[in-house]
Amino acid sequence: MIKKEIRSILATDCGSTTTKAILIEKRDDVYRLVTRGEAPTTVEAPFEDVTRGVLNSVKEVEELRERQLMDGDKIISPQKDDKGVDIYISTSSAGGGLQMMVAGLVMAMSAESAERAALGAGAIVMDIIAANDGRLAHEKISRIRHLRPDMILLSGGTDRGNIKTVVELSELIKAANPQPRLGMNYKLPVIYAGNKKASGEVEKNLDKISDLSVVSNLRPTLESENLGPARDKIHDLFMEHVMAQAPGYKKLMAMTDADIMPTPGAVGYIMQVIARNENITVVGVDIGGATTDIFSVFKDLESKKPVFNRTVSANLGMSYSISNVLAEATLPNIQRWVPFEINEVELRNRIGNKMIRPTTIPQSLEELKLEQAIAREALRLSFKQHKSFAVGLKGVQRERTISDAFEQTASGVTLVDMMDLDLMVGSGGVLSHAPRRNQAAKMMIDAFLPEGVTQIAVDSIFMMPHLGVLASVNEHAATEVFNKDCLIRLGTCIAPVGKSKYGKDYIKVELDLPDGTKFDRTMKYGEFLLIEAPYTAIPATITPASRKIDVGSGPGEVVNTKVYGGSVGIIIDARGRRPFIIPEDPKERVEKLQEWSKAIKEFDEN
């Protein structure tokens, strides 16, 4: 794409709350992150122009780097001497991101495939319409009419299959005559990716009322999926229609040297790179202000090939939708993570105030603890949704038998096997910007409850979106920066599964630490411990205290493995799994939370 040698790269990510800019420069033939800046996103009034926030964040980079990048409101490109950058790229999730409605014939088949295509492209799926979704036709029409999505993806019917029902779906869309979310002066983009034999009739129905694109069937046969063409079309239309309507995006599109990518699409790409390069299973999370995205790469139960899944919890976030976390998690579930007593009315008011003033940050330690308690619940709920979606899924090229295609969702076996999980990666403000990395590690452990031996990492300064879009321009630079500056290895969590009683022997852990010392301790049930160690392979022997306890090799079996430290260290979590219990008595709960917090050196006060 860009042939000339790239000396410097400026990348921005316009989030719903904050616009983040990073500057990458080539030094001694290696691409490295040199500085970052951020500013509130300015999609809102009074600015209503996303580029203001972009320029403010770049201004901060300029000041910190003490190097001129802009001439007035223009980014200097290409770089001349010490001024400007060679390329400028951006991702965006501001303005509510890409909001789509998908439709298919059968909920568990083509509709689910369509949902997967939309999610994979970085969209929020507002609703799924299917012939068998249990709603009456007029209810579906009313829903389509009122949703006002950015785009509709219509699928349905294998290429030799049902024509009638997919045409019926197009009739419902025609009757609803849905209007786009942003602006009245353009037609709603609709992508048809269903039975090719029905495309003529679908065109007749939808051509006049929408901006219809027809692409290859995303479910050409029962046994296969072909999501690529639909995903690519979603990306194209996102740029052409949705972005072009959002405040200031036309200007931003003119400034960038590559297409603006939806943030989740960029993060998903990077997660897949990690899994591929290291041949591991990965769970990644990006917790934002409005939404939480979960990405996973697990092996298919039969073929053992890696399967990528992404889910987005549209209303579980840390600012715009923080009150919804409270509504969905319920107050007791949030309170169980708060290590001090707080009045219910006060707690609800504080959460409400964060919702209406989404850009504020916790100044006091108490406020920080409260926000991290809510984050645990947002993460937990999002992960729960992800586990129920990532079931029996098949990759694009994956063949499946007819019987398991029918049972795809009904069988409900999740691919997410926590005992098989190698690495958890956290991203998003509350994890990447936690004042201490120990806090990020503890939030992820509490929310995801990893089992057995699991490595933990965070995106250092929330730059995965930038590197995702950079990879589309220069994969080499993206990979170099990713390995050297982006991924911070926090350490490893050792968490046995099995019931026991407080104070009883649970597991014995032996470690040959890099400084030559030996760690050898029998942990009691309910204990939590941090052993500080660097990111290097550490031989470990983990012995369950009874045949009811499993650390990954089966109940009662000894595990001999290598564990890695990191900027936090090795965390032994003997608090138990299945179930993981927090005391219900408020006094006892606060004591336990404080004990665990102290054990992992979570806060300065520890």
Partner 1 sequence: MAHAYIPGLKVVPNTTVKKARQLPIKGEILRKVGENVAAVDEVAKTHLPGNIIPTNIANKLNIEPADINDFMKKEEGDPIKEGEVIAETNGIFGLFKSSVQAPIDGTLESFSHITGQAILRESPIPVAVNAYVNGVVDEIIADEGVVVKTQAAFIQGVFGIGGEQRGKIKIVTSMQDDPIEEKMIDESCKDKIIVGGAFLTHSAFKKALKMKVKGIVVGGFNYNDIKKIIGYDIGVAITGQEDVNTTLILTEGFGEIHMAKQTFELLKKHEGDVASINGATQIRAGVIRPEVIIPVKADLKKDSPKQEIIGMDIGTEVRIIRAPYFGMIGSVSGLPHKLQKLESGSLARVAKIKIWETKKEVLLPRANLEMIENK
Does residue 266 belong to the site contacting partner 1 (CB under 8 A)? no
Q: How far is the CB of 73 from partner 1 (least distance, A)?
A: 14
| Alpha-carbon gap, residue 52 to 39, rounded angstroms | 9
DSSP 3-state percent helix, strand, coil across the chain (nearest 5): 35, 25, 35
For partner 1, the closer of residues 279 and 364 by Cβ is 364
Q: Which is nearer to partner 1, 333 or 414 (CB)?
A: 333
* Among positions 79, 313, 324, 597, the unique one binding partner 1 when judged by CB under 8 A: 324
> Which residue among 309, 323, 382, 492 contacts partner 1 (CB under 8 A)?
323
Pair 86, 23: CB distance under 8 Å? no
Residue ranges in 64-123 that form contacts with partner 1 under rule CB under 8 A? 94-96
Supply the minimum distance, in Å, between the C-beta of residue 325 and partner 1: 8
Q: Which of 203, 259, 328, 404 binds partner 1 (CB under 8 A)?
A: 328
Distance CA 169, CA 156 (A): 9
Asked if 156 interacts with partner 1 (CB under 8 A), we say no
Q: Which stretch binds partner 1 (CB under 8 A): 165-173, 414-422, 485-493, 586-594?
A: 165-173
Q: Does 436 bind partner 1 (CB under 8 A)?
A: yes
The span from the CA of 402 to the CA of 114, in Å, is 18
Q: What is the 3-state secondary structure (H, E, C) of 155-186?
A: EECCCCCCCHHHHHHHHHHHHHCCCCCCCCCC
Of the pair 324, 567, the CB lying nearest partner 1 is at 324
Tell me which DSSP letter residue 501 carries. -
Interactions with partner 1, residue window 208-227 (CB under 8 A): none
- Measured from the CB atom, the residue of 146 and 305 that comes closer to partner 1 is 146
Residue 221, Cβ density class (10 Å: 0-12 exposed, 13-18 middle, ≥19 buried)? middle
Give the integer Cα–Cα distance in Å for 318 and 239.
27
Which residue in 1, 184, 254, 410 binds partner 1 (CB under 8 A)?
A: 184
Say whether residue 282 binds partner 1 (CB under 8 A): no
344-403 binders of partner 1 (CB under 8 A): 344-346, 348-353, 355-368
Q: Does 36 bind partner 1 (CB under 8 A)?
A: no
Residue of 36, 106, 88, 40 whose CA lies nearest to 65: 36
Pick from 23, 190, 275, 326 the residue near partner 1 by CB under 8 A.
326
Binders of partner 1 among residues 246 to 265 (CB under 8 A) are 246-247
Minimum Å gap between C-beta 68 and partner 1 is 14
* CA distance to 48, 99, 204, 225, per residue, from 51 (Å): 9, 21, 40, 38
Task: Please give the residues from 42 up to 61 whose contact with partner 1 meets the rule CB under 8 A.
Answer: 42-48, 52-53, 56, 59-60
**Interacting residue with partner 1 among 137, 413, 537, 558 (CB under 8 A):** 137
Q: Tell whether residue 321 is a contact of partner 1 (CB under 8 A).
A: yes
Q: Dihedral (C-alpha) 318, 92, 421, 480: value to the nearest 10 degrees?
A: -130
State in angstroms the smallest separation of the CB of 201 from partner 1.
5
- To the nearest whole angstrom, how small is the minimum distance from the Cβ of residue 468 to partner 1? 22
Span of 169-177, 213-221, 270-278, 407-415 interacting with partner 1 by CB under 8 A: 169-177
- For residues 114 and 229, give the distance between their C-alpha atoms in angstroms, rounded to a whole number: 12
Rounded distance, CA 38 to CA 30, Å?
24
Q: Note whether 167 binds partner 1 by CB under 8 A.
A: yes
Structure tokens at 338: 């708060």
Q: What angle do CA 206, 212, 215 make, to 5 degrees?
A: 120
Interface residue with partner 1, options 68, 132, 142, 560 (CB under 8 A)? 142
Task: Give the interface segment with partner 1, choosing from 24-32, 68-76, 320-328, 382-390 (CB under 8 A).
Answer: 320-328
Provide the token pair at 35.
């500085």
Q: Do residues 522 and 505 make contact, with C-beta atoms less than 8 angstroms apart?
A: yes
